[in-house]
């Protein structure tokens, strides 16, 4: 424990954040870390409580409380307070593959379960983690060790998102020869093309990929396994295959007029903007001013985002940066309460209303929160040339289905409205793995179309094929993908060597 009375003496202080007025002019990260001397005091707030829920990763009431990676949070916080940044990095890296990713995009399950948060503000563990890894990179502490001896075993990993990268890292360290296949033009998967640059600068991914390449990992991009290369060719060439393709099958919102021009899936929209930014050398101004996207310029246009989650929020923030004249975000469900409900006690994950950066920016630009709750689209309206011009919506209410006894959101008669829309972005989540991959490899899927494995296992119905990440567990968090990639690496290693020291 760093300082026994620290949580009584110091208030929580978050990283510095640019104002909405400043940050909507660019696609750069807009959070700046505290000076290290100030960050040390945030480490002092850690109570080193008797039961550190922050690192438990335990399921409570159907949701996980604490870090799925089981980072030893009190230890790293104490080292932050002591200013022992090198040891803090070494401690953190024992359980974590990529702190530079989660410290930017994780919703901080550790903080939600922090004992300090039971009656006050939790310890700023996420910011402490970012301070640790940023210091480590700045001072040359981050190395990717190349194995001293190779095992002679070859492994193919399909997908270079967070689960694929984590599995590749550990399997390469073990001495296996690892090749990562990625269908996009650059490695990173969800990290690169599902998360906007202002949340995670893509050069952060490039830096880590370069270290892995120098340690012996091979990345093969622009190759779509299952289409460009048949699965049988890979299974014959490699000792093991790990499927880490993500839950990349977007859920559609089908309604009359769905064929209108101007309706896009959120993931395609975000990918195109991120690619344009990288192709232009991260010059935000050229991307904002050009407007030469497949969806044209957004300047002055009306944008409807369908979906109230993180991806929907990212679409709101991105649309504002591209000059949209109006942005509305539709959410089927009612808003969560402002504070924890009685049936949602600490240390469960808090089911409370979150106002994210995109909604803050919309409120600044347009004068109001962009979200309309309990609402869905019933029809897409086209002009004479087939272009989207508006959407019809209806309000929803929660009602018990007499046949099943379950509660469902049903339309409220007489609440129909028409909203102007030049562009609709569908951010309604994902339905699971894509069939062409799973069919090629002959692996079984469960009812949710995720790749099926026995409980607690990462081996598929095919003996030499494993899986991890969203493809295995369904749409989830980056921290869960990393945890799954690490666990799958251990399972693969055990299957090859008869034991594992990972």
DSSP-based three-state secondary structure for 152? coil
Q: How is residue 372 written in tokens?
A: 């309309």
Output DSSP code: residue 247: S
On whether the CB atoms of residues 392 and 416 are closer than 8 A, the answer is yes
**Which pLDDT score is estimated for 248?**
86
pTM of the model: 0.96
Q: How far apart are the first and last CA of the chain?
A: 28
How far apart, in whole angstroms, are the C-alpha atoms of residue 485 and residue 189?
Answer: 14
Domains of the chain and CATH, by start: 6-138 (1.10.1060.10), 154-249+431-497 (3.50.50.60), 263-426 (3.50.50.60)
Q: How is residue 433 written in tokens?
A: 């793995």
Neighbours of 496 (CB within 10 A): 19
Q: Which backbone phi and psi does 438 adopt, to 5 degrees? A: -65, -35
Distances (CA, A) of 394 to 73, 111, 331, 336, 397: 46, 37, 11, 20, 10
pLDDT truncated to tens, each residue of the chain (502 aa)? Answer: 678 899 999 999 999 999 999 999 999 999 999 999 999 999 999 988 888 999 999 888 888 899 999 999 999 999 999 999 999 999 999 999 999 999 999 999 999 999 999 989 999 999 999 999 999 999 999 999 999 999 999 999 999 999 999 999 999 999 999 999 999 999 999 999 999 999 999 999 999 999 999 999 999 999 999 999 999 999 999 999 999 999 989 999 999 999 999 999 999 999 999 999 999 999 999 999 988 899 999 999 999 999 999 999 999 999 999 999 999 999 999 999 999 999 999 999 999 999 999 999 999 999 999 999 999 999 999 999 999 999 999 999 999 988 888 999 999 999 999 999 999 999 999 988 899 999 999 999 999 899 999 999 999 999 999 999 999 999 999 999 999 999 999 999 999 999 999 9
**Which pLDDT score is estimated for 64?**
87
Q: How is residue 30 written in tokens?
A: 């807009």
Name which of 297, 281, 279 is nearest 289 in CA terms: 297
CB-based burial label for 276 (10 Å; 0-12, 13-18, 19+):
middle
Q: Which DSSP string corresponds to 157-184?
A: EE--SHHHHHHHHHHHHHT-EEEEE-SS
How far apart, in whole angstroms, are the C-alpha atoms of residue 389 and residue 361?
Answer: 25
Q: Which DSSP string corresponds to 439-476?
A: HHHT--B-TTSSBP--TT--B-SSTTEEE-THHHH-S-
**Which pLDDT score is estimated for 156?**
98
How far apart, in whole angstroms, are the C-alpha atoms of residue 97 and residue 199?
Answer: 19
Exposure string of 438-451, with b = 16+ CB inside 10 Å and e = fewer, is: bebbebebeeebbb
Neighbours of 283 (CB within 10 A): 15
**Which pLDDT score is estimated for 1?**
64
Name which of 484, 489, 492 is nearest 456 in CA terms: 484
On whether the CB atoms of residues 226 and 476 are closer than 8 A, the answer is no
Calculated CA dihedral for residues 64, 69, 70, 74, nearest 10 degrees: -110
């Amino acid at each position: 424990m760093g300082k026994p009375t620290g949580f009584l003496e110091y208030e929580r202080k978050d990283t510095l954040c640019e104002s909405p007025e400043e940050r909507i002019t660019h696609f750069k990260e807009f959070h700046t870390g505290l000076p290290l001397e100030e960050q040390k005091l945030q480490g002092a707030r850690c109570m080193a409580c008797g039961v550190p829920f922050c690192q438990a990763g335990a399921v409570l009431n159907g949701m996980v409380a604490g870090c799925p990676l089981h980072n030893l949070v009190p230890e790293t916080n104490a080292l932050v307070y002591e200013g022992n940044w090198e040891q803090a990095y070494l401690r953190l890296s024992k359980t974590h593959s990529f702190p530079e990713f989660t410290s930017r995009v994780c919703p901080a399950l550790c903080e939600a379960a922090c004992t300090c948060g039971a009656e006050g503000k939790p310890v700023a563990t996420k910011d402490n983690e970012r301070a640790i890894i940023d210091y480590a990179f700045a001072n040359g502490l981050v190395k990717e060790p190349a194995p001293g001896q190779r095992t002679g075993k070859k492994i193919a990993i399909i997908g270079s998102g967070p689960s694929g990268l984590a599995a590749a890292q550990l399997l390469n360290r073990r001495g296996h020869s690892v090749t990562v296949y990625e269908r996009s033009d650059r490695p990173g998967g969800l990290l690169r093309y599902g998360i906007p640059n202002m949340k995670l600068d893509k050069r952060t991914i490039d830096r880590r990929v370069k270290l892995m390449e120098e340690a012996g990992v091979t990345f093969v991009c622009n190759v779509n396994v299952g289409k460009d290369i048949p699965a049988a060719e890979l299974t014959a060439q490699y000792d093991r295959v790990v499927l880490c393709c993500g839950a990349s099958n977007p859920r559609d919102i089908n309604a009359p007029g769905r064929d209108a021009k101007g309706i896009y899936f959120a993931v395609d929209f975000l990918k195109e903007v991120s690619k344009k930014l990288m192709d232009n050398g991260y010059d935000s101004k050229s991307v904002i001013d050009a407007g030469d996207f497949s969806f044209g310029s957004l300047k002055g246009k009306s944008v409807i985002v369908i979906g109230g989650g993180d991806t929907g929020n990212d679409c709101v923030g991105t649309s504002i940066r591209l000059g949209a004249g109006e942005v509305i975000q539709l959410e089927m469900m009612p808003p969560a309460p402002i504070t924890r409900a009685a049936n949602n006690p600490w240390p469960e994950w808090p089911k409370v209303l979150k106002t994210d950066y995109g909604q803050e920016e919309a409120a600044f630009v347009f004068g109001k929160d962009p979200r309309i709750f309990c609402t869905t689209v019933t029809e897409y309206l086209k002009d004479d040339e087939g272009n989207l011009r508006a959407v019809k919506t209806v309000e929803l209410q929660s009602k018990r289905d007499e046949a099943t006894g379950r509660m469902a959101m049903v339309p409220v008669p007489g609440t129909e409205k028409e909203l102007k829309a030049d562009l609709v972005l569908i951010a309604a989540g994902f339905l699971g793995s894509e069939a062409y991959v799973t069919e090629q490899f002959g692996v079984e899927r469960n009812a949710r179309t995720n790749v099926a494995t026995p409980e607690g296992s990462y081996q598929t119905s095919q003996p030499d094929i494993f899986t991890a990440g969203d493809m295995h567990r369904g749409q989830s968090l980056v921290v869960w993908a990393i945890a799954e990639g690490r666990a799958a690496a251990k399972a693969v290693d055990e299957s090859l060597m008869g034991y594992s020291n990972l």
